[in-house]
Structure 1
Amino acid sequence: MALYDATLARTPGLVSRRSAPRTAVAAGVLVLCVIGIACAVANYQELAEYARRSAEESSRPRYQAMRGLGVLPAAIIVLATIFGVFAVMALLGPATRVWVRAETGTPLRRRFTGHHALTPDAFDRLHAAFASGDSARYTPLPEQARGGDGVVLIWTADADREAYVGMTRGSRGRSTRNAPLIRLAGVRFDALDQALRDRLTTPQGVTAPAPPGPAPSPE
């Protein structure tokens, strides 16, 4: 959610809290990486000898080319360090945090992220359509475009029947500008929830004609 975190942080009623499951996973990965590095350092010679013997006994040329290099312990240390760095970044950054509704503690679940090629006018019209709460106005969404600078993000707090629609425009960076966050609750949430179930590609608010039934048999 980093693209819209600044706007979520300014929204009354929403707070960022650490996710216990995500934190546990990141901490577990970090512990395994530390153990892996410690074991590789403590048994460096044995692992290097094992790697050399395996290369000598292998019939594959690419393994035989590694003979004498003893790269196994070094590879373990490098890989464990890389994963360990990612785990630390997750623990210190937003990857292990979630946005929740302060009143109920219900976490926001991201339901949709779409990149669309939108002109400024089309962007404003789509934002107004979402703000109206009328699903017939914002469905179907424009087709997604790779590299499109108009981004639509939707989160839901299902237990509270609330949804939040964020829209941002511009290249990812300091030039990105977030439109005001839209909150939809009650029947407006229900309409958006149904549209999300239809992947926002099916026009809503219009009753489709019933398929023709079998022709009656002549009496």
Structure 2
Amino acid sequence: MSTHFEKTFRTDPRFVRKRLAGLTVLAIALILIAAVSIVLTAENFIQLATWAREGTEDSALVRTRMGGITPLVMIAIELTGVAWGVHLLVVGSRPWHVAATGTRLRKRYYGFHLSDQSFFHEVHRRFATGDPAVYTPLPHQVDGGQTVVMIWTTDADRTAFVGISWDQNRRRTVNLPLITHTGLRYQALDAALRNSLHTSLPDERNPLLHRGTQPTG
């Protein structure tokens, strides 16, 4: 789970990466299959090129081009498979967990919003209140939006984490402090996510109002 908050997770002792056996096996299998396919394609490059030419019924020029390109396209696809496998092995099969409980973080929202520094800080302030009446409705995503909103939950722990980051480029990103919601605030955020952050959460579905309780940490 590579995110804009990767650096924050790495430096926060509350989180730790844990390897998942199933995804690890899948990643290794993908790498091996793709690697073997590359070797076989390379060894049979001429035969594949000939086969591609013979299977093309168009002009001689097209047949020549297809003969040379087809094996190269196959190798490119196979190299992509290796790259995916490596990424899955290094990152995807080692998702972030809560160190104290071992609960895996579940990504619930990842959106890009208005390219406005004032909105960047304002949306962090809104989510920090813990009240859906304040942070919903969240504006819809926009192409090129520089404000990145990320939400993860650990349902077994009844905890939610909200990350607000600036800049789509993960190398230049600036992260505001990670927001943590537990108890009623977690329930309220979970209800808002189920309802869609882009619409207001009805009062009757807001646990903070339904129980007549003010937001608490």
Range of TM-score over shorter length: 0.7 to 0.9
Measure how far apart 1:44 and its partner are.
4.0
- Consecutive unaligned residues of structure 2, counting only runs of 5 or more, are 206-217
Q: 1:139 to 1:29 in 2, by over 3 A?
A: same
Measure how far apart 1:151 and its partner are.
1.0
**Alpha carbons 2:10, 2:16 under 8 Å: kept:** yes
CA distance in 1, matches of 2:151, 2:66: 51
Question: Is structure 2 residue 180 aligned with structure 1 residue 183?
Answer: yes
Taking only the aligned residue pairs, the percentage that are identical comes to 35
**Alpha carbons 1:111, 1:156 under 8 Å: kept:** yes
More helix by share: 2
Number of residue pairs the alignment of both structures matches: 203
Amino acid at match of 1:34: A
CA distance in 2, matches of 1:74, 1:68: 11
Q: Within 5 Å, which residues of 2 pair with 1:155-170?
A: 155-170=152-167
Q: Within 5 Å, which residues of 2 pair with 1:32-181?
A: 32-55=33-56, 58=57, 61=58, 65-67=62-64, 70-71=67-68, 72-92=70-90, 94-117=91-114, 119-181=116-178
Once the two structures are overlaid, the 10-residue window that deviates more, 77-86 or 159-168, is 77-86
Q: 1:137 to 1:68 in 2, by over 3 A?
A: closer
- Consecutive unaligned residues of structure 1, counting only runs of 5 or more, are 209-219
CA distance in 2, matches of 1:171, 1:41: 38
Q: Higher Cα Rg: structure 1 or 2?
A: 1
**Alpha carbons 2:136, 2:198 under 8 Å: kept:** yes
Q: 2:209 is matched with which residue?
A: none
Give the RMSD, CA atoms, in angstroms: 2.7
Q: 1:47 to 1:201 in 2, by over 3 A?
A: closer
CA distance in 2, matches of 1:122, 1:37: 48
Residue 104 of structure 2: SS of its match in structure 1?
Answer: coil
Residue 198 of structure 2: SS of its match in structure 1?
Answer: coil
| 1:93-116 per-position Cα deviation (integer Å, ceiling 9, x unaligned) | x33321111122211111101211
Residue 65 of structure 1: SS of its match in structure 2?
Answer: helix
CA distance in 1, matches of 2:60, 2:86: 33
| 1:112-133 per-position Cα deviation (integer Å, ceiling 9, x unaligned) | 0121116434333321221221
Q: 1:184 to 1:52 in 2, by over 3 A?
A: same
CA distance in 2, matches of 1:20, 1:29: 14
Output the TM-score relative to the length of structure 1. Answer: 0.79
Amino acid at match of 1:184: H
